[in-house]
Amino acid sequence: MTVTTTPGPVPGPESASRAARVLSRPVTLNGLTVPNRIVMAPMTRRFSPGGVPGEDVRSYYARRAAAGVGLIVTEGTYVGHPSAGESSRVPRFHGEEQLAAWEKVAGAVHAEGGAIVPQLWHIGMVRREGRPPFPDAPPVGPSGLRPDGTEGGRAMTRTDLDDVIGAFAEAAGAAQRLGFDGVEIHGAHGYLLDQFLWAGTNRRTDAYGGDPVARTKFAAEVVEAVRAAVSPSFPVLFRYSQWKQDAYDARLAGTPQELEAILAPLAAAGVDAFHASTRRYWLPEFEGSDLNLAGWTKKLTGRPVVTVGSVGLQGGDFLRGLRGEGAAVGGIDNLLDRMEREEFDMVAVGRALLQDPEWAAKVLTGRTADLKPFDAAALTTLS
């Protein structure tokens, strides 16, 4: 089997017909049946002053649901812990006004026939001192180390751990009460849960540090608490990555065996589906196999898995895109090959869907010739 290192050219008519067929199949995540395989990837935009998503945010998500996205994962939303974030414009998933606004977002998506889950987020040691929404809150993490290795903030105490676990559980319970279709726990990209999973930031000598299984303990306890706060059929997704912001070569696991040691406790704790974040979905994860990170995740856990990483585009990645890098439309034949082999179950689309709200509709109806390239200069006007 030959490894494909590029997404290929813009799809032609035959490829477009195949894309519509492969991606239009429904898929089940616990008690939720999603009508197709397309997921809107979570993308932070900072368009919610005071942490409250307004009418523009409702329209943003509803527009993509109306255009055929099967499942929307919202941008990261801060859980109810003072150290969870560092922006007053990132939405929060706690507080009366904030939750009332999120209920309207869910309603708008459902009115267009879509499904939506909030991504629950705590940034941990990425937080900088004195930043909003709670300036007095210190950065906290497993060992007081930032992802770049510098010190700051403090290591979390038992009380801190319990408070954060409770905040995730409360947010998940609120999501179900508000009518959302599930939740996604953000455990990727160097944020709090990932800081526990990664040996580079977790130097603890208690039960929450050490080997891969011990480093997974805190994330597994978050999953257990979330699982207990919602009904048994309510989907719980978990997003994770090997890479960190500005540390693209960082790895949680160097072998499939190490990866299984991390994923198995999370699956046992109650994860219904994994969202395996990579920068380029077509790259193999470990030597000797074409499987990407999502493919290995499904093989090792048996759970449904979402793949992600420059889908529908040629080159670049999301973080560089936010810094001004554009990307041309790319083919998805390699993606379709992998889906037909059942390497993974769903595909999350980020920048392509940010740029083109009609991306899903065009792909599902064979209108791939009408797809738009990603234009970073237009980000400020995208809605």
Q: Over pLDDT 90: what percentage of the chain?
A: 82
Q: Mean pLDDT across the stretch 136-151?
A: 95
49 CB-near residues (< 8 Å, 6+ apart): 88, 89
User: What does DSSP say about strands 346-349 and 305-308: parallel, antiparallel, or unpaired?
Assistant: parallel
For 156-206, write each residue's pLDDT tens digit: 999 999 999 999 999 999 999 999 999 999 999 999 999 999 999 999 999
Give the residue extent of every domain in the chain: 13-381
Q: What is the pTM of this model?
A: 0.94
60 is catalytic: no
208 CB-near residues (< 8 Å, 6+ apart): 142, 161, 196, 202, 214, 215, 217, 218
Inform me whether the pLDDT recorded for 4 exceeds 90. Answer: no
Among the listed residues 191, 208, 240, 281, the single catalytic one is 191
For 78-118, write each residue's pLDDT tens digit: 999 999 999 999 999 999 999 999 999 999 999 999 999 99
How far is 91 from 146, CA to CA, in rounded Å? 23
**6, 94, 254, 273 from 231: Cα distances, Å:** 42, 20, 35, 16
How far is 322 from 13, CA to CA, in rounded Å? 31
Q: Which amino acid appears at position 54 of this protein?
A: G
Q: What is the DSSP letter of 345?
A: S
DSSP-based three-state secondary structure for 350: coil
**71, 124, 182, 195, 232 from 266: Cα distances, Å:** 22, 20, 17, 15, 16
Say if residues 310 and 300 touch (Cβ distance below 8 Å).
Answer: no
Neighbours of 30 (CB within 10 A): 18
Q: Where are the beta strands (DSSP E) in the chain?
A: 27-29, 32-34, 38-40, 71-78, 115-121, 140-141, 154-155, 183-189, 236-244, 273-277, 305-308, 313-314, 328-329, 346-349
**85, 124, 163, 315 from 140: Cα distances, Å:** 11, 5, 12, 35
For 224-233, write each residue's pLDDT tens digit: 999 999 999 9
Structural fold of domain 13-381: TIM Barrel (3.20.20)
Inform me whether the pLDDT recorded for 346 exceeds 90. Answer: yes
User: What does DSSP say about strands 71-78 and 115-121: parallel, antiparallel, or unpaired?
Assistant: parallel
SS3 per residue for 106-139 = HHHHHHCCCEEEEEEECCHHHCCCCCCCCCCCCC
Max Cα-Cα span within the chain: 58
